[in-house]
Amino acid sequence: MQFVKVTNPNQPDINPVMASYCVSFICRLRGLTFRRNITPDRGLLLVQGRDSRLDSGIHMLGVFFDIGAVWITSSYQVVDTRLARAWRPIFIPIRAARYVLEIHPSRLKDFHVGDQLRFEKV
């Protein structure tokens, strides 16, 4: 599996998130389903083929813990953030996004609508 370091230049004092780069349909479908937790320094970056509200929606069925969800456009701008509660059926962003960064809920405060992020393959 490929990893990406996600940094937020708008918040230079925060640690980057090391995210698994999840581009296949199976990887995106599984997401964090049936996993027991996620650590604050790790994440999962779900990658869609294009910016879309519907395609970038996430489900929390089978996810045993709350997560922070950060929706990001193809130009790496944050367009929505939300605390996604365990076992809820669906979360859809306010604006179209290509990427969804799933992170520990404590990291949600590190990302704000309008932030311009950077992805670096590691």
Tens-digit pLDDT profile for the chain (122 aa)?
A: 799 999 999 988 899 999 999 998 888 877 777 777 899 999 999 999 999 999 999 999 889 999 999 999 999 999 999 999 999 999 999 999 999 999 999 999 999 999 999 999 99
| Residue ranges per structural domain of the chain | 3-121
Fold of 3-121: Jelly Rolls (2.60.120)
**Which pairing describes strands 3-7 and 78-84: parallel, antiparallel, or unpaired?**
unpaired
